[in-house]
Amino acid sequence: MSVFQPNGALLSIGGAILYTIGLNPQRLSYSSEARFPAHPIAAGMTYQKTGPGAETVTIEAKTLPHVFGGLDAYAILKAHHRSQAAVPFIRLRGNYLGEASGLCVIETLDSDEERLHPFDGVGREVEVTIGLIMLPASLGGFARNLITGIGGLL
């Protein structure tokens, strides 16, 4: 149980909200690629544009669960990952604004616990790395069908 109340929401991945106090995002990384296969021709090489590749986001987050909580958000992330649910990814901004980045799936979810607490066995420091694959908007209805009920939207 956290001493502090959740405050300062920064990211939302489905029902998991990463707060300033709680599971706190420390680093965000974005990666994408475009595909251009090469074809030899008499004059040299020519390239063909075949479309975009995977668009990925990696989020590193950290909490001190005995002080700030945050393990509830980790449990929700774990449930989304195990069910392979397509969930909305929202990056929150100041003045209650947000950027809806679209639907994503959690491809990888890693956690590290350090200095286990003697009473409950939970690490005093918990670091989580979340690997997201952003689903293309062109999937349209297919991606919307991947959302597993209203729980995927909270």
Q: Following DSSP, what letter does each residue of 63-87 receive, concatenated?
A: E-HHHH--HHHHHHHHHHHHHT--E
pLDDT of residue 21: 85
- As assigned by CATH, the class of the 9-34+48-148 domain is mainly beta
pLDDT of residue 134: 94
Q: In sequence order, what are the residues at sequence separation of 6 or more whose Cβ sits closer than 8 angstroms to the Cβ of residue 96? A: none
Q: In sequence order, what are the residues at sequence separation of 6 or more whose Cβ sits closer than 8 angstroms to the Cβ of residue 91? A: 10, 11, 98, 99, 101
CB atoms within 10 A of CB 100: 10
CA 114/CA 53 separation, integer angstroms:
36
CA 13/CA 16 separation, integer angstroms:
5
Per domain, the residue ranges of the chain are: 9-34+48-148
pLDDT of residue 116: 78
Long-range Cβ contact pairs of 142-147 (< 8 A, separation 24 or more): 143/86, 143/103, 144/86, 144/103, 146/85, 146/86, 146/103, 146/105, 147/85, 147/86, 147/87, 147/103
Rg of the chain over CA atoms, in angstroms? Answer: 19
How many secondary structure helices (H) and strands (E) does the chain include? 3, 9
pLDDT of residue 139: 59
pLDDT in tens, the chain (154 residues): 445 555 678 899 998 988 888 899 999 999 999 888 898 989 889 988 988 888 999 999 998 888 888 889 999 999 999 999 999 999 887 666 778 889 999 999 999 988 878 788 788 889 999 999 999 876 555 555 555 444 444 4
pLDDT of residue 74: 93
pLDDT of residue 154: 42
